[in-house]
Amino acid sequence: MSIEERHQITVQGLIVDVVRKDIKNLHLGVYPPNGRVRVAAPLRVNDEAVRLFTISRLPWIKRQQAKFEGQERQSAREFISGESHYYQGHRYLLNVIYQEGPPTVIIRNNKFLDLFVRVGSDTATRERVFINWYRQRLKAEILPLIEKWETIIGVKVAEWGVKQMKTRWGTCTINARRIWLNLELIKKPAHCLEYIIVHELIHLLERHHNDRFVKYMNSFMPLWQHYREELNREPLGHASWEY
């Protein structure tokens, strides 16, 4: 059974999440949307070593946090005409059309998202129709990518699904061979979705984000760090969540 310990330390006024687990080296990350700092440390490494490691990376940490602070963010959506909505990395203008037919969403001229809803539909109804469309489109993108990468990586997923998550782009339950993908990924460029799928599938080979995991990522998707950076640069939704 793997051991994992979690707690926080403060380094020169900076709160750092420390995750101590069975890995060989220290790993530091700064995560959107608020620049949360996380250090993954080997079980044998004490807090003083983590503190010194963090201090050595403070200039880089501050630069990353400044990037996230200036990152474009969407306000809460009302699903009304004229709003901007993202789909596969592109920005579209929403056009709400009231009619008596079945509700749906249609992409028009690579510029507009036409949202067809029944007369009298309120904000919650318009949102539900739009989110359902997002979900259907994302599932259609996911299936061929999973099939492609299962063959390349040599693993097999027993189950996968889509849900709205506030803390991860994706998750992998290793024993059940089940992965979940964040609905927000439909807003991001297609290669960012593919990167997250590869990331989660590799967890079926290696549970932890350790050196072995990184070697797998480098082997199967050499540009994965570029895709991760791009994903973190993309406009954030109004909710706070990160990877």
The gap between the terminal CA atoms of the chain, to the nearest Å, is: 25
pLDDT tens, residue by residue, 174-231: 999 999 999 999 999 999 999 999 999 999 999 888 899 999 999 999 999 999 988 8
d(CA 186, CA 90): 10
Buried residues in 142-179 as b, exposed as e (16+ CB within 10 A): beebbeebeeebeeebeebebeebeeebbebeeeebeb
Query: What average pLDDT does range 47-52 have in this prediction?
Result: 96
Nearest 5°: the CA angle 204, 37, 31 is 60
109 in Cβ contact with 84 (< 8 Å) = no
pLDDT band at 237 (very low <50, low <70, confident <90, very high): low
Tokens standing for residue 226: 């570029």
- Is the pLDDT score of 99 beyond 50? yes
Domain 84-233, CATH class in plain words:
alpha beta
Q: What is the pLDDT of residue 109?
A: 96
Q: What is the pLDDT of residue 79?
A: 95
Residue 99 exposed, middle or buried by CB count within 10 Å (0-12, 13-18, 19+): exposed
Q: What is the pLDDT of residue 75?
A: 67
33 in Cβ contact with 73 (< 8 Å) = yes
Q: Percentage of the chain with pLDDT > 70?
A: 91
pLDDT tens, residue by residue, 152-177: 999 999 999 999 987 689 999 999 99
- Number of Cβ within 10 Å of residue 117's Cβ equals 22
Q: What is the pLDDT of residue 31?
A: 82
Q: What is the pLDDT of residue 168?
A: 82
Q: Percentage of the chain with pLDDT > 90?
A: 75
Dihedrals φ, ψ of 200, to 5°? Answer: -70, -40
Tokens standing for residue 115: 């949202």
Query: What average pLDDT does range 116-132 have in this prediction?
Result: 96
Q: What is the pLDDT of residue 241?
A: 41
Handedness of CA 9, 50, 37, 176 (dihedral sign): negative
Domain residue ranges of the chain, discontinuous segments joined by +: 4-69, 84-233
Q: What is the pLDDT of residue 77?
A: 85
Q: What is the pLDDT of residue 137?
A: 98
Q: What is the pLDDT of residue 234?
A: 64
Q: What is the pLDDT of residue 23?
A: 87
d(CA 181, CA 164): 8
66 in Cβ contact with 229 (< 8 Å) = no
Q: What is the mean pLDDT of the chain?
A: 90
Residue position matching structure tokens 């318009």: 126
48 in Cβ contact with 41 (< 8 Å) = no
Q: What is the pLDDT of residue 243?
A: 39
Percent of the chain as helix, strand, coil, to the nearest 5: 35, 30, 35
Concatenating the DSSP letter of every residue in 105-150 gives EEEETTTEEEEEEETT--HHHHHHHHHHHHHHHHHHHHHHHHHHHH
Query: What average pLDDT does range 30-56 have in this prediction?
Result: 91
